[in-house]
Structure 1
Amino acid sequence: MIRTTATLLLLALPLAFTRPAAAQETPIAYTVAFPNAVHHEARIQVTFAQLPAGPLQVRMSRSSPGRYALHEFAKNVYDVQATDSKGNALSVNKPDPYGWDVTGHDGTVVFTYTLFGDRTDGTYAGIDKRHAHLNMPATLAFARGLEQRPAEVKFELPAGWQVASQLRPDATKGTWYAPNMQYLMDSPTSLGPQQTRSWQEQDRTIEMQVLHDGTEAELDSYVGLTKKVVKEAAAVFGELPEYDFGRYTFIANYLPQTSGDGMEHRNSTSLTSSRPLRGPAALDNLGTVSHEFFHSWNVERIRPQDLEPFDFERANMSSNLWFAEGFTQYYGELLLRRAGVYTDAEYCTEALSGIVDAMLTMPGPKRYSPVYMSQQAPFVDAAAAIDPNNRSNTYLSYYYIGAGNALALDLQLRQNYKTDLDTYMRAVWQQHGKTQRNYAPAQPYTLRDLQRVLGEVAKDTAFAGQFFRQHIMGHELHKYDALLAPAGLLVRPARPGQSTLAARLQYNPDSTATLGTTLLGSPLYVAGLDREDVLLKVEGQKPISAKEMQKRLAAHKPGDVVPIEYRTRNGVRTAQVTLQQDNTLEVVPMPNATRKQLAFRKAWLAGKAK
């Protein structure tokens, strides 16, 4: 399962633009109220004071930390008004779809607007009578030129609601503080009747603030598993980060109206799911916890240079998401095994099989590199478009292609260099993550830095150069069968001998079936069929249903030729289609693994926390 995460980012402006006097300036003051929550509205007031003469350019973000596509949050803003310090109405002009220019002020602008939000996830704002889950770029307007000013947010809460946020509380003022705009926008906030669990880990406060419909016992059990994951993640790096205000917060919303998501932030993560904290659903939710918590090192503090600083007014592209998200994807699942949530067999089923199958059977990894896949994020990371695309044949998520390379690198380091990926991650942490300044990494990394550190850890710069040329900047596939064998794990066909059309079919009420995009090299692709073609008959009979089609295909062997009648854009046609063997792969433990293989596997998968 891909952890959407994911997620990401606190980005501060470079030090050259930091103004030492910013802390003495009047903070930007926000008030967020919910007079019409039943209709998913918030009323928000922002006071910008100590302004220079001239127009004030107020804007809504177009993008959000942890997301790379444009989301155009201004579309949910209306009823905009602006006054000066005396309450006099000011002129508001709209120069573009994303903002407002306010003129005629007296050094103060009170900017007020209504926000609509009805999607509870890591990207948008979800508001109703029960709760409000606010991603700040989707919620709070900002002013150009004031990015380094501190901010204070006052939440006017309905009865029974509490605040869950990485913002710093100020009990005397009843406000929540951010040192600058980057931190403010990186601080998701959940408002509602929180259930809180808090504990100490390495002298840091870890807390989970949860909205859910389950029992106290279910939450306690879930937090118990989370504690194990936290310990195993810390063991990879040898320590927890220095959280800016002394705590890390899991901001969790597990209510029926929420959309599944996980989004990492500097001192917190936003966790949303409609699934409960019991049964198999709890493990799916825990996988998101594991992935997002690993991000508190990798991508929040170990940050790629090409995402510094994050630009809220454009799409943000990085060449390094294969590492930032993909290596995190690998560790998110590995930590569940090390924490004892998975057995070896379950880890193979839940994690390794999906990674290996995607890397070796999908067209994308055979054609394009992890760097290229990372650069596609502005088009695929929750991006919205209505035109068809060919990504089934050109793309594999940087989560998967990154995880596939993390797996291969871990096994190569263990087999050939008497080290491992944990050691590599610690080295990257020490050089490019541990030292922070102004709520941002002092030395964000480049692609060349990652290669250099690998050469240092392996004590083999030639290997590091070759690995990056072939597998990161290139697209040479790894030999996973050979890499996994020393751990006593076997890569094999999941459905040996089964014939397939390897097609995505939507079965219609008239017993026909409509094709999705046909995969490069698949039987229907080779026969000349494409998306939206309609299968009318297969071997003279209507497709009817998936169950019926599977029954017919089971009567054939791979290599058999079957006649197909189909409707395409230029009429009804027939084709002779050669069936292929189902090429789905799986990873399973060898039943006769040797002691040496079992010892290798244990050194890799066993828990590391003391």
Structure 2
Amino acid sequence: MRKPAASLLLALALPLGALAQAPVQYRVAFPNAVHHEAQVTVVFSELPSGPLQVRMARSSPGRYALHEFAKNVYDVKATDSKGTVLSLSRPDPYGWDVAGHDGTVRFTYTLFGDRTDGTYAGIDQVHAHLNIPATLAYARGQEQRPAEVKFDLPAGWQVATQLRPDAGKGTYYAPHLQYLMDSPTSLGAQKVRSWQEQGRTIEMAVLHEGTDAELDAFTDHTKKIVKEAAAIFGELPAYDFGRYTFVANYLPQTSGDGMEHRNSTSLTSNRPLRGPGAIDNLGTVAHEFFHAWNVERIRPRDLEPFDFDRANMSNSLWFAEGFTQYYGELLLRRAGVYTDDQYCQEALSGLVGAMLNSPGAARFSPVQMSQQAPFVDAAAAIDPNNRGNTYLSYYYIGGANALALDMLLRQNYKTTLDAYMRAVWQQHGKEQQNYAPAKPYTLADLQRILGEVSRDTAFAGQFFRQHILGHELPKFEELLAPAGLVVRRARAGQASLVSRLSFNTADSTAAIGSTLLGSPLYQAGLDREDVLRKIDGQRLSSPKAVQDLLAAHKPGDVLAVEYRTRGGIRTTQVTLAEDPTLEVVTNETAKKPVTKAMKKFRADWLTGKAK
């Protein structure tokens, strides 16, 4: 509704900012960091009358399960503007109601945190890596207020964050709660590398114990990854404050993780920036940077806005995470981190093998796998499950379908998945408002755009029905052949039980993990926690002894197996299967012909696109 003229004149007459709400003010200090504690103070001012509902988040952006961050908060107190102690009540496990305030509430608490990753808070005497939902309390009804955060830093610590710094105040600013909660912050002795790309500042703020030369080499690879990612979409996003930050923690006490955010990413790993660890860490860099487009700005409607009070379910994680999984590895190839052979081994073999060998992928669609995220995305449960037979991560099922779609578009429609991603970006990612996508997408939008890019709406409809809403498996042997790639058994002709065994050398037995549908032990009626005692009359003295025993047989051989089950000790017959492990290799490795057309197809797909 248009504002009446009188009100407009009054607003123009007021000093700039007079109509703005007072910011929520946070102060975070670390007087007992050696014992993993932070002291947090939050000041809520200019409040309406009535109880203030202060809460800790139950979930976190980029995570879909519940994590109940209130469990690590204690010593909670509240006072008003005069220092008068206020009454606190606990209406639920997630927060506190503060009554009797005078328009101001000063809320203080101790936070414990000793897990450095993208979900929790990790605090010790050398650093603090803070996921904000795990760290800062908020108040219901105050979500649209800006926030100012001040960190009381131990000597030698600096701040790395996507929050906007205010040097005059010594604070860090967020325009509202959604942005605040999306802003991971690392505190410590930062080593910073900063550069310009397309008029934006890209920076790496790193905590690690390696050398400056190692960080420089790692940064050089990251620069190439940034260029290749931008080439896919045709541009970098317009970062809200002109800056994108890799908030990286590579200390020994760190848990491996990567978590995307709007203008930054949280990167955590105990692997060093050298050797194989550096390549693994670069894989996370590439995946998370691609998220600056896909999921942060190209965002599914069912995740916007993010709800901190519940588990967040989406139908589209196969696209948001799965397509990003495909592109993260592809970026490493295009940036020159991988060779063709390494890309096949490290990326394609995993995607294809998981898709074709997973019982779950043959039963449930990518959409249904996406809906499982609240139960599997770092979710905690103690009861056994049957996910080995019913689930394949939306990272893999989405990534495998991205690979299949890229091959189909290149072979049949003279276009690419890159073109598809650019079209989705233009229609549902580039336009932003209030630090959020102006037009978050639906499944119907993704199908429609595929029809536009391929110029074949029937194909788009069929692909979604069969592979996204349905669970038809792609024919990877046919799809990868034009690129001169072969899908084959990695251990052809080798006999296998197709089961995970845990050996007990004390009594020469092996406990069985959950058995997979169709596997030899499943077919023979064995299941989790059954214990193998003898195979073909031999005791299971070591993993190597079992390997040697199986190597002496071929697929189809029938062996007697003695095992202990919940019903006692039994003997049955088990028919060995061929080891199902798949690999993707180049025709050159497979010693097959390689045509000029194959070389061109592969080069068009895998070589760098950055100018």
Same fold (TM over 0.5): yes
1:521 aligns with 2:518: yes
Which residue does the alignment assign to 1:482? 478
The 5 A counterparts of 1:67-106 are 67-106=63-102
1:12 aligns with: none
Closer, same or farther in 2 for the Cα pair 1:171/1:23, shift >3 Å? farther
2:248 aligned with 1:285: no
Give the match for residue 38 of structure 1: 34
Counterpart in the other structure of 1:391: 387
Counterpart of 1:178 (choices 174, 179, 197) is 174
Match of residue 248 from structure 1: 244
Is 1:561 the counterpart of 2:562? The answer is no
Supply the AA of the counterpart residue of 1:293.
F
User: Structure 2 CA distance, aligned partners of 1:312 and 1:573?
Assistant: 51
Correspondence 1:119-518 to 2 at 5 A: 119-508=115-504, 509-518=506-515
C-alpha distance in 2 between matches for 1:239 and 1:306: 26
Specify the SS of the correspondent of 1:586. strand
Distance in structure 2 (CA, Å) of the matches to 1:361 and 1:30: 50
Contact kept? 1:513, 1:544, Cα under 8 Å:
no
> SS of 1:366's equivalent?
coil
Give TM-score scaled by structure 1 length.
0.96
How much does 1:65 deviate?
Answer: 0.2
Show the counterpart of 1:10: none
Given the alignment of the two structures, is residue 578 of structure 1 paired with residue 575 of structure 2, yes or no? yes
Provide the rounded CA distance (Å) in 2 between the counterparts of 1:382 and 1:215: 32
Moved over 3 A (4+): 20-23
Q: Could you say which residue in structure 2 is the equivalent of 1:109?
A: 105
Residue of structure 2 aligned with 1:535, choices 532, 542, 547:
532
Sort the Cα spacing of 1:177 and 1:395 in 2 relative to 1 into closer, same or farther, 3 A. Answer: same
Q: Distance in 2 between matches of 1:425 and 1:533?
A: 48
Once residues 544 and 143 of structure 1 are traced to their aligned partners in structure 2, the CA distance between those partners, rounded to angstroms, is 60
Match of 1:605 in 2: 606
Task: Give the secondary structure class of the aligned counterpart of 1:364.
Answer: coil
Distance in 2, matches of 1:286 and 1:569, equals: 46
Q: Partner amino acid for 1:176?
A: Y
On the 8 A contact 1:23/1:150 being kept in 2, the answer is no
Higher RCO (C-alpha under 8 Å, 6+ residues apart): 1
Q: For 2:499 and 2:19, how far apart are their aligned partners in 1?
A: 60
CA deviation after TM superposition for structure 1 residue 27, in Å: 0.2
Provide the rounded CA distance (Å) in 1 between the counterparts of 2:57 and 2:299.
21
What residue number does 2:595 align with? 594
Match of 1:549 in 2: 546
Preserved contact between residue 452 and residue 461 of structure 1 (Cα < 8 Å): yes
Q: CA deviation at 1:542?
A: 1.3
CA distance in 1, matches of 2:328, 2:127: 29
Instruction: Measure the CA separation in 1 of the matches of 2:523 and 2:70.
Output: 46
Tell me, what secondary structure is at the counterpart of 1:291? helix
What is the CA-CA distance between 1:514 and the residue it aligns to?
0.4
Q: 1:175 and 1:419, CA in 2 relative to 1: closer, same or farther beyond 3 A?
A: same
Query: Could you tell me whether the CA contact under 8 Å between 1:320 and 1:371 is conserved in 2?
Result: yes
Q: Return closer, same or farther for 1:201/1:355 CA change in 2, 3 Å cut-off.
A: same
Q: Which amino acid aligns with 1:346?
A: Q
Partner amino acid for 1:545?
S
From the superposition, tell whether residues 244 and 23 of structure 1 become closer, same or farther in structure 2 (CA, over 3 Å).
farther
Quote the Cα distance in structure 2 between the aligned partners of 1:595 and 1:266.
42
Q: CA deviation at 1:528?
A: 0.3
Contact preservation (8 Å) 1:22, 1:150:
no
**Displacement after TM superposition at 1:361 (Å):** 1.1
Q: Distance in 2 between matches of 1:271 and 1:503?
A: 33
Verify: 1:26 aligned to 2:22, yes or no.
Answer: yes
Measured after TM superposition, the shift of residue 23 of structure 1 is 7.0
| Aligned partner letter, 2:600 | A
Give the whole-Å Cα distance in 2 for the aligned partners of 1:153 and 1:496.
Answer: 59
Distance 1:283 1:461 in 2: 40
Q: Which runs of 5+ in 1 are unaligned?
A: 1-19
How far apart, in 2, do the equivalents of 1:526 and 1:258 lie? 42
SS in 2 for 1:106: coil
Partners of 1:22 and 1:149 within 8 A in 2 = no
* Secondary structure, counterpart of 1:385 in structure 2: coil
Q: CA deviation at 1:499?
A: 0.3
Q: What's the CA shift for 1:510? A: 1.5
| Separation (CA, whole Å) in 1 of partners of 2:480 and 2:60 | 38
Question: Which shifted more, 536-545 or 484-493?
Answer: 536-545
Cα 1:512–1:109, aligned 2, differ >3 Å: closer, same or farther?
Answer: same
SS of residue paired to 2:555: coil
Distance 2:488 2:525 in 1: 30
Determine the C-alpha separation between the residues in 1 that align with 2:358 and 2:315: 21
For residues 479 and 287 of structure 1, the distance between their equivalents in structure 2, rounded to whole angstroms, comes to 26
More off after superposition, 590-599 vs 524-533: 590-599
Structure 2: gaps spanning 5 or more residues: 1-15
How many Å separate the matches in 2 of 1:124 and 1:521? 39
Count residues with an aligned counterpart.
Answer: 591
Find the aligned partners of 1:549 and 1:209 in 2 and give their Cα distance: 48
| AA matched with 2:515 | T
Q: Which residue identity lines up with residue 550 of structure 2 in the other structure?
A: L
2:7 matched residue in structure 1: none
Question: Given that residues 349 and 588 in structure 1 are in contact (C-alpha distance below 8 angstroms), is that contact kept between their aligned partners in structure 2?
Answer: yes
Q: CA deviation at 1:570?
A: 1.0
Whether the aligned pair in 2 keeps the contact of 1:85 and 1:110 (CA below 8 Å) is yes
Give the distance between the partners of 1:73 and 1:510, measured in 2 at CA. Answer: 43
Aligned-partner SS, 2:461: helix
Q: Distance in 2 between matches of 1:276 and 1:238?
A: 32
- Aligned-pair identity in percent equals 77
Root-mean-square deviation over aligned CA pairs: 0.9
Structure 2 Cα separation of the partners of residues 183 and 87 of structure 1: 30
SS at match of 2:360: helix
Q: Which stretch of the first structure deviates more once superposed, 378-387 or 506-515?
A: 506-515
Measure, in 1, the Cα distance between the counterparts of 2:144 and 2:105.
18
Cα 1:562–1:150 shift into 2, 3 Å: same
* CA drift at 1:21: 8.7
- Per the TM alignment, residue 174 of structure 1 is displaced from its structure 2 partner at its CA by 0.4
The residue that corresponds to 1:16 in the other structure is none
Conserved in 2, the CA contact under 8 Å of 1:255 and 1:274? Answer: yes
Q: Which moved more, 1:590-599 or 1:522-531?
A: 590-599
CA offsets 1:475-525 (integer angstroms, 9 cap, x no match):
000100000000000111100100000011000132100010000000000
- AA at the equivalent of 2:602: R
Partner amino acid, structure 2, of 1:568: T
Q: Secondary structure at the match of 1:233?
A: helix
Alpha-carbon offset, residue 22 of structure 1: 10
**Offset at residue 583 of structure 1 (A):** 1.3
Deviation of 1:136 after TM superposition, in Å, equals 0.1
1:603 partner letter: D
